[in-house]
Chain A
Amino acid sequence: MAEELKLFRTWSSPYSLRVVHALKIKGLEYETIFEDLSSKSASLLQYNPVNKKVPVLVHNGKAICESLVILEYIDETWKQCPLLPRDPYEKAKARFWAKFGDEKLSSSIWNVLISQGKEQEEAIAAAVQNLKLIEEQLQEKKFFGGEKIGYLDIAFGWTANLISILEEIIDLKLVDEEKLPLLSAWMQNFSDDPVIKQCWPPRDKLVVKFQAMRESNLKTVLSQ
């Protein structure tokens, strides 16, 4: 019997993109439902009544929410192309760094986007410090997962796309090839992967979106 697999997502959500990456790496067929978050569908609200957010993966009628939870679900349900390490200690390390990416790293990158002047300089220093910590996890590997893309590469995947967009908007380099050589190389390797490459949202639309976010946040600060 064909499995029912549906993904509720938005065109730009980096969290949704994680699920897309995982599904494609595993070679899974699925239906995409694009949501407009300003007018959420009845289906989304039914499948995720608690948080009402994307992404939601629906597998044979059952909804799984929260992108990192979905990644683990996909990995446990479809065993080909494993994403997480088998060893519990390595798994624990991967889970910790994914959380770090979502909490400390992403908020520090956000702070760079929404600040300017001296405040932005400080935000950049903090973000680069976090990026250095991430880079240390790569050691000499091509990917965080080793030779192939794994859970942590997918969890950090948003950096390979959104950091260069941020750099374009603020006209400053965050991931300097000299200061963060391994991370730079990883971003290139990740982005060049044939599965990943086909999934990026349109860059020009993303630039417009994040530019608008920067402007509206700067305006809010100025008016306080």
Chain B
Amino acid sequence: MAEVAVYGAWASPLSKRVEIVLKLKGVKYEVIEEDMSNPSVWLQNYSPILKTVPVLIHEGDPVVAPNVILEYIDETWTGNPIFPQNPKDRAKARFWIKFIDEKCVPAVMLACWGREMVQQMATQEAYNCLKALEDELRGKKFFGGNNVGAVDIAAIFLALWLGVIEEINGVKLLMHDQFPLLSRWVNDILSCSIIQETLPPRDQLITYLRTHNPNSFPSGT
């Protein structure tokens, strides 16, 4: 195994989060592709509690949980930091990452995929979450400021996966006239070459998600 390896899955936004950060920092790594519905013995050994991707292996030691991995990478390879240096801004970034993973993404998933009786409430919750992120983007190109930061990387779900599940379900949440800043952010982040080359092709993701239960995705929490 290489010095740095990622147990990941090509369709997982959480896996891709880790790969994007490694690429931004110029860290060479090997991907060990996992089937999310059937985790390998190796993955289960390295991550006995979560049993899910992503897992980062660095010099033989496993680091688990996507956001723990992000902070570990930023602290270990200190070039091109993705977290702000200032403690207050770092705290804000951590807050927004937690918000995206624990409030925004679940609300969006329920709004698109939930049963009818929960969908209406979930849709309202999803709009509230997107509005909060829209407000946070005010005056900035990226959540990280002029450059892509940890919050942008955490929000990558919204840049690609959201559009895909909207299309599959015939739902539109991220509407341009309601969320102009977030819509512009989606274009800007997808234009970054490192992000483009790391994310899965959209049509491949559409085909995959049409036939695979998205609730089998590992959650961010």
> Does B bind A?
yes
Residues of A within 8 A of B (CB): 50-51, 59, 62, 64-66, 69-70, 72-73, 76-77, 88-89, 91-92, 95-96, 99-100, 103-104, 133
A69 interface neighbour in B49, B58, B91, Cβ under 8 Å: B91
23 A-B pairs in the complex with CB atoms less than 8 angstroms apart = A50-B99, A51-B99, A51-B103, A59-B88, A64-B95, A65-B95, A66-B94, A66-B98, A69-B94, A70-B91, A73-B90, A73-B91, A77-B87, A89-B58, A91-B71, A91-B72, A91-B75, A92-B68, A92-B72, A95-B65, A96-B63, A96-B64, A103-B221
Interface of B (DSSP majority class): helix
Which residues of chain A come closer than 8 Å to B71, judged between CB atoms? 91-92, 95
Interface of A (DSSP majority class): helix
In the complex, which residue of chain B has the Cβ closest to the Cβ of A60?
A: B88
In the complex, which residue of chain A has the Cβ closest to the Cβ of B63?
A: A92
Q: Shortest distance in angstroms between B52's beta carbon and chain A's nearest beta carbon?
A: 13
Q: Check: B146 CB closer than 8 A to any chain A CB.
A: no
Whole-angstrom CA separation of A91 from B94 in the bound complex: 15
Q: Check: B132 CB closer than 8 A to any chain A CB.
A: yes
Chain B 121-159 per-residue mask, 1 if CB under 8 angstroms from chain A, else 0: 000000000001000000000000000000000000000
Taking A65-B95, A66-B95, A73-B91 as known contacts, 15 extra A-B pairs with beta carbons closer than 8 A to each other, sorted by chain A number, are: A50-B95, A51-B99, A51-B103, A64-B91, A64-B92, A64-B95, A69-B91, A72-B91, A88-B75, A88-B76, A91-B71, A92-B68, A95-B71, A96-B65, A133-B49
